[in-house]
């Protein structure tokens, strides 16, 4: 599949079948995240794969939308800011969230390529994720990624037109 076709195909899936995700497909999704670029190649993140139904129940308290708990797998993407690259020569900006976002995007695209569905979840209660996953000090949850076979069809994307987004040569 051409990349642009995959980018069109990937959409947020909010309905999952209970069928398990084969190990090799899960590993391919994780590997796609691992192949993502990071500032200085520091990879300041961790991926926690949650498959234990009791743990999924605990995690779902942080994001109680029913579709989230339908997925047989969830990946919790966490960053460790202290291990991220910072733009010290100028403003000290820490890039760990950017690094994690690229990894999550790679994972969502890999999942779509494998016929799996995902939905980037950012509206979770971080305190509850920290609790459910036993995250140590300095490790922050950035995204939850339910993963499973879609029970709903993909949909057309609604996006701003390029004319509204793109400027040339200056603002």
Ligand X SMILES: Cc1cc2nc3c(=O)[nH]c(=O)nc-3n(C[C@H](O)[C@H](O)[C@H](O)COP(=O)(O)O)c2cc1C
User: According to the binding rule CB under 6 A, does residue 119 interact with ligand X?
Assistant: yes
Query: Residue 54, exposed/middle/buried by CB under 10 A (0-12, 13-18, 19+)?
Result: exposed
Length of the chain: 171
Closest CA to 45 of 55, 56, 33: 33
The site string for ligand X over 8-37 (x = CB under 6 A, - otherwise) reads: ---xx-x-----------------------
CB of 23 to ligand X, least distance (A): 26
Q: Which is nearer to ligand X, 7 or 40 (CB)?
A: 7
Stretch that binds ligand X, among 23-31, 85-93, 115-123, 130-138 (CB under 6 A): 115-123
User: Could you give the residue ranges of the DSSP H alpha helices within the chain?
Assistant: 3-9, 23-34, 53-60, 66-70, 96-113, 126-133, 162-165
CB of 51 to ligand X, least distance (A): 21
CB of 2 to ligand X, least distance (A): 18
Tokens of 9: 């195909």
CB of 3 to ligand X, least distance (A): 15
Which positions lie near ligand X, rule CB under 6 A? 11-12, 14, 119-123, 157
């Amino acid at each position: 599949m051409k990349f642009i076709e995959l980018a069109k195909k990937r959409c947020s899936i909010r309905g999952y079948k209970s069928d398990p995700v084969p190990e090799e497909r899960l590993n391919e999704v994780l590997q796609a995240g691992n192949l993502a670029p990071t500032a200085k190649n520091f990879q300041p993140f961790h991926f926690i794969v949650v498959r234990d139904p009791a743990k999924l129940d605990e995690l779902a308290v942080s994001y109680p939308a029913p579709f989230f708990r339908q997925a047989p797998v969830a990946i919790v993407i966490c960053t460790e800011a202290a291990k991220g690259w910072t733009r010290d020569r100028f403003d000290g900006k820490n890039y760990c969230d950017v690094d994690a976002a690229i990894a999550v995007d790679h994972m969502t695209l890999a999942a779509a390529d494998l016929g799996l569905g995902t939905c980037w979840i950012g509206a979770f209660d971080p305190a509850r994720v920290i609790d459910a996953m036993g995250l140590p000090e300095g490790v922050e949850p950035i995204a939850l990624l339910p993963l499973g076979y879609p029970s709903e069809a993909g949909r057309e994307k609604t996006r701003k037109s390029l004319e509204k987004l793109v400027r040339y040569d200056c603002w």
